[in-house]
Structure 1
Amino acid sequence: MTDTTRPTDVTGARRAGIETTGIEIIAESERTARPVDLFWPWFAANVSVFGLSYAAFILYFGISFWQGVLVAVVGIVVSFLLCGIIAIAGKRGSAPTMILSRAAFGVNGQKLPGVLSWLVSIGWETFLSILAVLATATVFDRLGWGGGTGTKIVAAAVVAALIVSASVAGYHLIMRMQAVLTWLTGAVSIVYILMTVDDVDWDAVSAIPSGSTQSVIGALVMVMTGFGLGWINIAADWSRYQRRDAANGGIVFWNTFGGALAPVLLVCFGLALAGSSAEILDGVAADPIGTLATLLPTWFLVPFLLAAVLALVSGAVLGIYSSGLTLLSLGVRIPRPAAAFIDGVILTIGTIYVVFFAENFINPFQSFLITLGVPLAGWAGIMIADIALRKRDYDDDALFDARGRYGAVDWVSVGTLVAVSLIGWGLVINTFSDDASWNNWQGYLLEPLGLGGKDGAWAFANLGVLAALVLGFAVAYLARRTTVARQEA
């Protein structure tokens, strides 16, 4: 049984300003994008000054400035490189990531990672919306315009409206919007660095002691999860409009370069900034962007706020657009704009709850990130193995037919995802037990494997994410070789 239809009037929808194409295969005439076009959405979504605050999270692992730089460069670049590999599937199949994943998991089996992907996307876009609202309130308070409840209500409404309207409009408007935001947010980020470079105390930065190997690995995994792995489940959504003859190497490069360039620069500078001041280091835990704004002169606060909020909105737009596509891939039969709107309502409710009622959101969010990061890494390993094994484009019809060559359920992939997730969860711990007690069950393999238990040094290395990624790839690559060859025969 097929579960969707082909697009009928994509060009007309594009002229009207609304993309109605959902999870259908993109028409051949619409595949006009070039690899270099991928730079704009990935750069714009990751140029946010929020990247500076990740430096504080890195230093909380108890590592030195130079260890932090190593972690930032390797973690960010490698994680976006993995996104670039997933993006190859978008060119091969011209469909959303979670539809293309059916080739690895089966048309019905894909619902398991599909639900996971939807939760991750909803979580990320809500998180970015929350940061935008809190940043607005902090800057308004600094300007003397009032940063209380009224400001937060207006900010939440405006931010939600911007995110939902752009997501509903779809791919073509988003691509144009991202190209503009790239220049705006990039310029403001450069000015911010120039205006705060005097706040760097190199003596204090140099005095930060080095941390253990376990701490470096833990920080590395956190960075990978927070950057590239946080986007990997939607990577093919933005490459599905690529020309069929686009070079795979070009797609990987521009995806990686666009996604990693700004975060690497911002996090490295943030390491110097946060390492200079305990006040900045601790302030980002409650309000990352608001804390960074306290270093600026009053006259620059409005441009800073505008760029910061728009950058966060940019990232949330990518998330909600893709979460809408994922919702459709799960079998929800509504138009794509309606799916984006539904996710926008969920985003708004989540933002209101956290901003007005929750006492702490950073700690529960990081716990949530690591928990979902384990199976997401396992899915990524399986998907990358599937891409590496395939030599031909996807069978368009079979992606929507459980009786086709990809079948209803690929039990090897599904079983592998479940197994590596269970292994991965056993190798991570909930470091925020007071704020996320629902996650205290993790880390059950640390003692049996001789890694010191939940209180040992390896407990904070977050090995479970790397284990799920590597094991997912290795098992799928070895166990599914014959299956993929048969499918492509």
Structure 2
Amino acid sequence: MSHVADEVPLTLDGQPPKTLGVLDQGALWANLGVSLLGFSGALLLLNPTGDAPLSLAAALVATVVGSLIGTAMVGLSAIPGTRTGQPAMVLLRGLFGARISYAPTVLNIVQMLGWGAFELWVIAKAATAIFDGVAYPVWVVLAGVLTTALTIWPLGAIRLLRRYVTVGVIVSMIWFTWYFLSEAPAPAGGSWTGFAPAVDYVIALSVSWVPLAADFARHSRSGRAAFTGIVGGYTVAQVACLGLGVYAVAIAGAAAVNADNTAVFDPFVAAPLGAVFFGILVLRETDQSFANV
């Protein structure tokens, strides 16, 4: 009975359990901050305007500044969920009224369906890069089954992320960072001319999660725990993801990644023990599809 009481009730009539602490929120948002195709996002980060490449220092500073601004916006949008216990789309009723709030709710559903389907595609493509002998549709189905399982027990899934998955992701990111730093030279040249557009790009990556923030924050023990977990977890993870992407793109070749975003997977799989550690990142990607569902 306690396990049932610690899970999300099936309707909004039930009182949402307040079981997520700052570490739970931090683990969830840190995992959401690492995206498989986020690695290829280094292309736009390094040259957001298309004609004024950034220096490595400018790109990294833009990543930190943009992440802090964007995640602060996500964190602030999460606090009303903690205080009221209501998800984001219900909170919109107070702004627009019940009838008009249906419009953003429908748009949110469409957005989540689109992103959820996109994530299944990403997971399947990444898994195919590791196990090219297994058909792509098989990975789509397996990813869908795992996503569904996580969705049935959402709070349990978040606790699972904190206890086990996050550790594997940290180890994998450290391993790939060590390997890429030894294999690819740091990008040379560039300037600070495109700094502002780069910051704007990173902010956009973060604030895309605003429509979901309250959905998870309503189960936080406090608004401070939700805000700190979001800003801390997502910022650190996104900075690490884009920073690692800079070197992955350098190894794969900017032209190849620009032609096919999934080409950024190749350096990961080719690294020593790459299939193992990249497999952890692929498995972790299901938290993205889970969050959307």
Q: If the length of structure 2 is used for normalisation, what is the TM-score?
A: 0.87
Matched, 1:254 2:244: no
Q: How far apart are residue 12 of structure 1 and its match?
A: 6.9
User: Partner residue of 2:290?
Assistant: 317
Amino acid at match of 1:42: W
Amino acid at match of 2:4: R
Matched, 1:26 2:6: no
Q: How far apart are residue 75 of structure 1 and its match?
A: 1.4
User: Partner residue of 2:239?
Assistant: 264
Distance in 1 (alpha carbons) for counterparts of 2:201 and 2:74? 16
Distance in 2 (alpha carbons) for counterparts of 1:127 and 1:292? 22
Q: What do residues 420-443 of structure 1 show as CA deviations (whole Å, max 9, x unaligned)?
A: xxxxxxxxxxxxxxxxxxxxxxxx
User: Partner residue of 2:53?
Assistant: 63
Matches within 5 A, 1:72-471: 72-141=63-132, 146=133, 151-167=135-151, 169-179=152-162, 180-202=164-186, 205-207=187-189, 209-210=190-191, 212=193, 215-226=194-205, 228-243=206-221, 246=222, 248-274=223-249, 276-277=250-251, 279-285=252-258, 286=260, 287-297=262-272, 300-320=273-293
C-alpha change, 1:250 and 1:188, in structure 2 (3 Å) is: same
Q: How far apart are residue 182 of structure 1 and its match?
A: 1.0
Does the CA contact (< 8 Å) of 1:137 and 1:151 recur in 2? yes
Does the CA contact (< 8 Å) of 1:25 and 1:94 recur in 2? no
Amino acid at match of 1:189: M
Distance in 1 (alpha carbons) for counterparts of 2:204 and 2:13? 29
Aligned length: 286
Unaligned runs of at least 5 residues, structure 1: 1-10, 321-489
Q: How far apart are residue 273 of structure 1 and its match?
A: 4.5
% identical equivalent positions: 20
Distance in 2 (alpha carbons) for counterparts of 1:220 and 1:288? 25
Distance in 1 (alpha carbons) for counterparts of 2:31 and 2:241? 13
Match of 1:41 among 3, 24, 28: 28
Q: If the length of structure 1 is used for normalisation, what is the TM-score?
A: 0.54
Unaligned runs of at least 5 residues, structure 2: none
3-state SS of paired residue (1:306) = helix
Does the CA contact (< 8 Å) of 2:77 and 2:213 recur in 1? yes
Amino acid at match of 1:282: A
Relative contact order higher in (CA < 8 Å, ≥ 6 apart): 2
The alignment's C-alpha RMSD in Å is 2.4
Does the CA contact (< 8 Å) of 1:47 and 1:182 recur in 2? no
Q: What do residues 333-366 of structure 1 show as CA deviations (whole Å, max 9, x unaligned)?
A: xxxxxxxxxxxxxxxxxxxxxxxxxxxxxxxxxx
Q: Is the radius of gyration larger for structure 1 or structure 2?
A: 1
